[in-house]
Amino acid sequence: MQRIPKNFTPVPYAYHQEIELVIDTLTNLGVGLGRVNGWVVMVPMALPGEKIRARVWRNKANYSDADLVEVLEKSPERIEPRCALFGKCGGCQYQHMTYQAQLYWKRRHVQELVTRLAKLEVEVEPTMASPLEFGYRSKITPHYEPTCDGRPMAIGFLGMATRATIDVKECPIASEAINAALPAQREKVLVKERAGLLKNGGTMLLRDTGLGIETDMSAVAETAVGSLKFKFPAGEFFQNNEHILPTLLDYVISQAAAPDLEFLVDAYCGAGSFALWASAKFKRVAGVEINERSIALANANASLNGIQNCAFISGSAEAIFSKVDFDAKKSAVVIDPPRAGCDKVFLDQLVKFAPARVVYVSCSPDTQARDLRYLADNGFKVLRVQPFDLFPQTRHIESVVTIVPNPV
């Protein structure tokens, strides 16, 4: 890695100036990063170790953005993308990279966050691979905007380098059932557009439940995961890679279920997936959630599966553990918060509850690392960090962290 000379004064490049550089690394956004005389240049689609030619299109205060023009010396990890829209559609960032390289860089990005942001000396485990590299997504939500200039309307996803919608007629990371249903759903929208009936844009839903394709955002979908059945709002969150989901659930519960623990609290329980999966490992399980509809569905899921030792409780954000009567010293807590992570109000309650074990599941390792730093400063230590690749071909990664009280 090049060092910036002490007397170096950055001079941004001219608009559309072409430069040659070697890519040093990937950012956690999946963008290649290289330097020219110490000046950082960001180049999507470029891989570490490659010598490239790039065209600068924007200068920022301390770096330039550039488009890849030509790969002069190719990385051995570069492969041909499966999707013809790769590089235009913003849904995938890694289709040009071998799957083993994807797993390596995802682990490395989690490690960088744990080390740099959480300031912890913990070795991150190798990324757990998805059973399917393509065709794994059980939900897609293409969107559209009516056109006013006579051009065909695009139905799909935002572009990689633009806010414009890229027309997507088939998505290789979506399930076969979704791709089979997509043309008919697109045609329904296009018929309305051709008839002049579309005044506003919208979003389509295609949710593969394993029993069929659900397209109604307000419907309650049902799917099977392992031996359990789950009902959940079709348009809301439920893990979209059900091929690796049983492995993820097994791992999370194995980390929570220490021999001397009797109770489990699922603190962001949603429709109850972690709580119900854990029911055979604990004497009693409590799922806590501020969303009343999720609580109703979680209770329905317990009944659907004949599980009697799970109770689902509606708790306020300010008193999430107030209705939990478990002995904290015999309790584990599973947390799977939204992408924004845990707020300080929740973390303070978790520290006060002082469980014997915490398993923190996150789709956003940066906010997770921030929260780990807070927990490390307030009586806890990290035992293990395990990434899971729920989203092959993309930069996204799920991180599972096992946390215990730090002995004085």
Which secondary structure element, helix H or strand E, spans residue 248, and what is its range? helix 245-256
Residues belonging to the active site: 363, 398
Which secondary structure element, helix H or strand E, spans residue 384, and what is its range? strand 380-388
User: What size, in residues, is the chain?
Assistant: 408
Cβ burial of 29 (10 Å; 0-12, 13-18, 19+) is exposed
Helix, strand, or coil (residue 224): strand
The closest alpha carbon to 40, from 29, 56, 16, 17, belongs to 56
DSSP-assigned letters across all residues of 287-325 = EEES-HHHHHHHHHHHHHTT--SEEEEE--TT-TTTT--
Which secondary structure element, helix H or strand E, spans residue 251, and what is its range? helix 245-256
CA dist 259 and 7 (Å) reads 60
Which secondary structure element, helix H or strand E, spans residue 357, and what is its range? strand 357-362
